[in-house]
Amino acid sequence: MRKALTFVVPVVMAGSAHAGGLELTVEIPKLSVSEYHRPYVAIWIEDKDKKIAANLSVWYAVHLKDDEGEKWLKDIRQWWRRTGRGLDMPLDGVSSPTKPPGANKVEFKSDSGPLAKLAPGDYTLIVEASREVGGKEMVEIPFTWAPGAEAVASAKGKEELGAVTLKLVK
Put residue 133 in one of left, alpha, beta given phi > 0 → left and psi -120 to 50 → alpha.
left
DSSP3 helix / strand / coil % (the chain, rounded to 5): 20, 40, 40
Q: Which C-beta is closer to other proteins: that of 69 or that of 114?
A: 69
Q: How far is CA 27 from CA 10, 34, 125, 153, 166, in A?
A: 29, 21, 15, 14, 12
Cis peptide before 142 (omega within 30 of 0): no
We find the least distance from the C-beta atom of residue 81 to other proteins, in angstroms, to be 7
Size of the site for other proteins (CB under 8 A): 17
**Nearest by Cα to 152 from 132, 133, 166:** 166
Smallest distance from other proteins to CB 80, Å: 7
Comparison of 83 and 110: residue with beta carbon closer to other proteins? 83
- Considering the complex, state which of residue 74 and residue 141 has its C-beta at the smaller distance from other proteins: 74
Separation between Cα atoms, residue 51 and residue 22, nearest integer Å: 20
| Neighbour tally for 43: CB within 10 Å | 25
Contacting range for other proteins; rule: CB under 8 A; set: 51-59, 84-92, 100-108, 157-165: 84-92
Q: Which of 50, 81, 158, 170 binds other proteins (CB under 8 A)?
A: 81
Residue list 41-80, contact with other proteins (CB under 8 A): 66-74, 77, 80
Range 126-145, binding other proteins (CB under 8 A): 136
Interface residues with other proteins (CB under 8 A)? 66-74, 77, 80-81, 84-86, 89, 136
